[in-house]
Amino acid sequence: MRAAIFDIDGTLLDSVDLHARAWVEAFAHFGVETKEADVRAQIGKGGDELMPVFLPQERIEREGKAIESYRSDLFKRRYLPEVRPFPGVRPLFEHLRAAGLKIALASSGKRAEVERYTEILDIGDLVDVATSSDDADRSKPHPDIFEAALKKLARGPDDTVHVIGDTPYDAEAASKAGLRTIGLLCGGFPEADLSAAGCIAIYRDPQDLLDGFERSPLADG
């Protein structure tokens, strides 16, 4: 079996800036001032890993669930309607399926968010399995979400699986799960950061990966 495990935010969807704004507004609602650029640099992690960057542990224990709930509702209400796919997502997935690869989604978002994103991307009929923060005790850069995807894919010792993501946290989590990562620049992280985190190949966006598929690690395993 060959398979590709895709992150969603910043990899398939142009949503990173929108998530950052939602976090900044949510923090401000609870009296915590943050800069959008600082928050944006943490997008790719789940709330369990993002909040400790800006809040002391005792406050997270006291208000973390309330902050996360407020942010989630705010994002759905104000920002989700603005989310759009990057170019080439569905054609890329169609090409991967035609080439014999299985496809998995692995996001730090909640299951309901992943299901909604799948609808926006129009890829539900092309995805074999999907995992979210509901399938993991810890979010990226911990490997839990990718390990859950591997379990659902029923990976064997001779199978070849690559992760496709846009952040160093994807590459770090994938490495801990024994996987190699293909990086995409469309999420906004510098190419140097993705290379330093261990990405074995880097493309601009899903369309660029599709255009270069025959020379990519996905083609040769």
pLDDT tens for 25-49 read: 999 999 999 999 999 999 999 999 9
**Domain limits at 70?**
16-82
User: Is residue 207 located within the same domain as residue 110?
Assistant: yes
User: Is residue 108 located within the same domain as residue 215?
Assistant: yes
β-bridge partners, 163: 5, 181
In this prediction, residue 110 carries a pLDDT of: 85
pLDDT-derived band at 189 (thresholds 50, 70, 90) equals: very high
Q: One-letter amino acid identity for 67?
A: I
In this prediction, residue 221 carries a pLDDT of: 54
Mean per-residue pLDDT for 140-150? 95
pTM of the model: 0.94
User: Is residue 109 located within the same domain as residue 45?
Assistant: no
User: Is residue 137 located within the same domain as residue 210?
Assistant: yes
In this prediction, residue 108 carries a pLDDT of: 85
Burial tier of 116 (Cβ tally within 10 Å: 0-12, 13-18, 19+): middle
pLDDT-derived band at 219 (thresholds 50, 70, 90) equals: very high
User: Is residue 141 located within the same domain as residue 186?
Assistant: yes
- Percentage of the residues of the chain whose pLDDT score is greater than 90: 93
CATH number for the domain that contains residue 180: 3.40.50.1000
User: Is residue 134 located within the same domain as residue 176?
Assistant: yes
CA distance 38 to 54: 9
User: Is residue 71 located within the same domain as residue 137?
Assistant: no
Provide the number of structural domains found in the chain: 2
Model pLDDT for residues 53-79, shown as the tens digit of each residue: 999 999 999 999 999 999 999 999 999
> 216 versus 155: which is more confidently predicted?
216
| The domain boundary residue, chosen from 82, 113, 131 | 82
SS3 label, residue 156: coil
User: Is residue 139 located within the same domain as residue 56?
Assistant: no
- Element at 31 (helix H, strand E): none
User: Is residue 163 located within the same domain as residue 134?
Assistant: yes
- Percentage of the residues of the chain whose pLDDT score is greater than 70: 100
User: Is residue 171 located within the same domain as residue 157?
Assistant: yes
Q: Above 80 in pLDDT, residue 24?
A: yes
User: Is residue 59 located within the same domain as residue 128?
Assistant: no
For the ranges 29-38, 150-159, 168-177, the lowest mean pLDDT is seen at 150-159
DSSP 86: P
Model pLDDT for residues 82-136, shown as the tens digit of each residue: 999 999 999 999 999 999 999 999 998 889 989 999 999 999 999 999 999 899 9
Q: Above 60 in pLDDT, residue 192?
A: yes
In this prediction, residue 48 carries a pLDDT of: 93
